[in-house]
Amino acid sequence: MNNNSKVRDETRKDIQELFELLKKRTDQSAELLDISDVLAQVYVKLDTVKNPEALVNRLVNYIRSVAIEGRIHFPHEEESLMIDLGVIGQKAGLNGSYMSDYSDKSQFYSYSEKVPHHS
């Protein structure tokens, strides 16, 4: 198993666990639903991107940004998964950082895909 495949598998596992934990919450705010949408989108796109670390880096930045805006607190288990994803994202180096709106959900969707919106 090559390193890229290992990163994808590890990322997929962390995303799935975080997604399931967030779906169990009783307070399904618009921000939490947006985070869940993006987690599902990144899960699907992992196999097709050249640099999964850069995608994960953007994912973590997005989640942190939306969580601050929505005042979402992550309990220990969720925070631990966020930290794991952050470590994977850090491997992107300079390729993962670019000047964009971290809270823009559309960065995870292609032009032909509909971006789900929650109000």
What pLDDT digit, counting tens, does each position of 12-28 carry? 999 999 999 999 999 89
Confidence of residue 119 (pLDDT cuts 50, 70, 90): low
Amino acid 44 reads V
Confidence of residue 43 (pLDDT cuts 50, 70, 90): very high
CB distance 54 to 92 below 8 Å: yes
Cβ neighbour number for residue 35 with a 10 Å cutoff: 22
pLDDT of 59 above 60: yes
CATH 1.20.1440.140 fits 3-94, yes or no: yes
